[in-house]
Amino acid sequence: MDLSTKSTRELVALYSDILAELRKKERDVLRTKNFLGDLGEYLVEDHYMRHPALPNVKRISVGAKNVDAKDEEGSSYSIKSVTSTTTGTFHGLPEPPHEPSSPLFDYLIIAKFNDTYQLEMIIELDWVAFLKHKKWRKHMKAYNLGLSKNLLKDAKVVFKRFGS
């Protein structure tokens, strides 16, 4: 389909139709109004399920705090989707200098997208690596992560798009 021949109104209508289709129960891609987050969770689940060397990570119901998926062994996963080099925030952790008494999740999976929402990379960090790299954002009263070279050294690269 040559999108350059479509009017802006036609493109907007097409986009609306695509979103409606992705929200259908049979597709189960978009479950909330957070397009990027839902897309990342779906593609992470799909990638992990299609690769036998990886655990079978399955999304859990919407609304669970800090946990987006679990595997067959019961390990919990937080999934963050980004188009930049910084994740969204992690709430529920004590302010510095205090450390959490127990993990909020076992693993953090970050799905990195480009500006046109093509998946570039999936990385996985365990709880210890997450604690090592988390950064306090005083104005948000929460932590986030920057996708630095140091963080990538401690991460397991699960998927990397050729050329990215």
- As a whole number, the mean pLDDT across the chain is 96
Q: Are residues 139 and 65 in the same domain?
A: yes
Task: Over range 2-16, report the average pLDDT.
Answer: 97
Q: Are residues 122 and 153 in the same domain?
A: yes
At 159 the three-state DSSP class reads strand
pLDDT at residue number 44: 99
Mind listing the pLDDT tens digit for each residue in 113-125? 999 999 999 999 9
Query: Could you tell me the pTM of the whole model?
Result: 0.94
Indicate the number of domains in the chain: 2
Q: Are residues 26 and 37 in the same domain?
A: no
pLDDT at 46 exceeding the cut of 90: yes
> With contact defined as beta carbons under 8 Å apart, do 143 and 134 qualify?
yes
Q: Are residues 23 and 40 in the same domain?
A: no
Task: Over range 87-104, report the average pLDDT.
Answer: 93
pLDDT at 164 exceeding the cut of 90: no
CA distance 12 to 25: 23
Q: Are residues 18 and 39 in the same domain?
A: no
Q: Are residues 55 and 18 in the same domain?
A: no
SS3 of the chain: helix, strand, coil, percent, to 5: 30, 25, 45
pLDDT band at 72 (very low <50, low <70, confident <90, very high): very high
Q: Are residues 62 and 117 in the same domain?
A: yes
Domain that holds residue 122: 32-160
Q: Are residues 70 and 132 in the same domain?
A: yes
pLDDT at 32 exceeding the cut of 70: yes
CA distance 8 to 33: 23
Q: Are residues 94 and 83 in the same domain?
A: yes
Q: Are residues 38 and 92 in the same domain?
A: yes
158 closest CA partner among 113, 104, 110, 106: 110
CA distance 149 to 163: 17
pLDDT at residue number 75: 98
